[in-house]
Amino acid sequence: MKLQETMLNIQDNNNSLSDFTIEDIGDDHLYTGIETPMKENAFDLSDEDKKNKIEGLFEEIMDTLGLDLTDDSLKGTPKRVAKMYIEEIFSGLNPKNKPKVALFDNKYQYNQMLVEKNITFIPIVSIILYLYMEKHTLHIFLLVKLLDFQS
């Protein structure tokens, strides 16, 4: 059965995905749920304990890869990666970090989105950058466009 048919069958019959392998589902997670699947004990460890655990595990990964952690460019990388995961990338998993919602009065009684139309930009140059940040073990792809605003 094709993946799309499988997923539609699951949705229509309210079947569980537990009978399917990762290979069956692939990258099509459309029907696997909206909420992030979290364990009940996800917040039993403090952020500091999580960072310490991740630091140790990432140090193990780097050692397995044969990286020299005594080199200046890699010193402290496991600690930085652990901090990045807990305080930045996955910080939104913790309900205490949920952003506050701000409401305001609609004084002018707008009933649709405000859109500014017909703005002309003239591209001057496009630059594509592909970076590898060794200290954080991150790959970054940037597309930078310099534009000139024409009134």
Dihedral sign (CA 39, 45, 51, 57): negative
Q: Is 22 helix (H, G, I), strand (E, B) or coil?
A: helix
Residue 31 covered by a domain = yes
| Residue 33, domain extent | 3-97
pLDDT tens digit string along 101-121?
888 888 888 888 878 787 777
Distance CA 62, CA 78 (A): 8
- Looking at residue 33, what is its pLDDT? 64
Report residue 113: phi and psi, to 5°: -70, 140
* Judgement on whether residues 12 and 71 belong to the same structural domain of the protein: yes
- Looking at residue 18, what is its pLDDT? 66
Say which amino acid occupies 62.
M
* Judgement on whether residues 26 and 57 belong to the same structural domain of the protein: yes
If one counts every other C-beta atom within 10 angstroms of the C-beta of residue 62, the result is 17
* Domain tally, the chain: 2
* Judgement on whether residues 83 and 142 belong to the same structural domain of the protein: no
pLDDT tens digit string along 70-100?
999 899 999 999 999 999 888 988 888 888 8
H/E element holding 60? helix 47-64
* Judgement on whether residues 88 and 45 belong to the same structural domain of the protein: yes
* Judgement on whether residues 82 and 144 belong to the same structural domain of the protein: no
